[in-house]
Structure 1
């Protein structure tokens, strides 16, 4: 079949948001995270609320975009969105409470930083990492989980792009050039792994991650907590 017969892939739309607004939601926030599988740096969550109008051209899951294109779209999103906010949990907090709880805290921080509480939240994936716990106002967040929501939902795609650009910029600003954070954002690239073997972890590294088990000189720094054992990095 020739390429002229192959339909172009469609971008995200408002199908999920429209289902939620039809059920009574006025403000719908798309939520996405970045940094869950990194060895260094925070996990960052963005919550984004749209005006339900035509999205910026090329908007899609951040992983589908080049760094330059992501940055360009993020700049447009900052003015185009009705509201957006970030929440983060740093490496020490991740080590103390585990990734699931750290991710929940980061998401709550992002949602509570929005100027108005959303009536519904769309989470990318099948797992409701917000859980049923109440926010600061005592009410639990109304959550809709959607697999591949960063490809399907405009709100989540916007959150995906903003979270990625925000965290990449933060990681590039940490210094430690020998670890290559500006290029790998704290994920285990060859440059990053080589620096860890030679120099050990920085204050920005997660010390409960299993990569330390493979570094004899630095293994003694590993933090072991029974309740978070098995939460390994997801590359």
Structure 2
């Protein structure tokens, strides 16, 4: 029996709106997936196709989230760690080892390592990066459908000029991270 190695990555630490989304993925060594790399290096079309393939071929995968309210309460770093814990603990099996993209590990009881640029170095982290990114992008597309005037599908919640213009015109929705400086400043102006 091979070791169950989970890869973990996050998406959405920088946006002003929505959840921070993490994924934990345990790949099947007998069923490799071609083209895995850092999700930011892939086109949207390729990411979506790979995300589907990962969901079909991985032994196990799970999404973990932390809400804007949790981000505001805990701060983005601690909320990200919470989302990572949720992703790994939500797997139907306990991994033998966990590789996390970045330079920090959550406070958990898993044998694990943090790997800087891990999403480019380890297939399981790449896979987590891809499904987390597609999941969060889908969140933003859904938000866009509900509030098209904000163009969430375009900027994905990141602090762009167009996004700030939309906020100035239409206001701050409940899904915004109110502790983030640009949002907090706009709230204080009112």
How far apart are the structure 1 equivalents of 2:52 and 2:161?
31
1:52-105 alpha-carbon deviations (Å, 9 max, x no partner): 246322221100011111001111111110100001011011101111221111
What residue number does 1:99 align with?
76
1:173 is paired with a residue of what secondary structure? helix
What residue number does 1:46 align with?
23
Number of matched pairs: 188
Give every structure 1 segment of 4 or more consecutive aligned residues whose post-TM-superposition deviation is greater than 4 Å: none
1:143 aligns with 2:120: no
What residue number does 1:207 align with?
178
1:122 aligns with 2:99: yes
- Displacement after TM superposition at 1:179 (Å): 1.4
How far apart are the structure 2 equivalents of 1:85 and 1:96?
24
2:7 is paired with a residue of what secondary structure? strand
- Displacement after TM superposition at 1:51 (Å): 1.5
- Larger-Rg structure: 1
How far apart are the structure 2 equivalents of 1:187 and 1:34?
12
Runs (5+) with no aligned partner, structure 2: none
- Displacement after TM superposition at 1:126 (Å): 1.5
What residue number does 1:188 align with?
159
Relative to structure 1, the CA distance from residue 141 to residue 220 in structure 2 (aligned partners, 3 Å threshold; closer, same or farther) is farther
Instruction: Give the helix-richer structure, 1 or 2.
Output: 2
1:154 aligns with 2:123: yes
Q: Pairwise mapping of residues 49-64 of structure 1 onto structure 2 (< 5 A)?
A: 49-53=26-30, 55-64=32-41
Given the two structures, how large is their TM-score scaled by the length of structure 2? 0.92
How far apart are the structure 1 equivalents of 2:19 and 2:9?
14
Q: CA RMSD in A?
A: 1.8
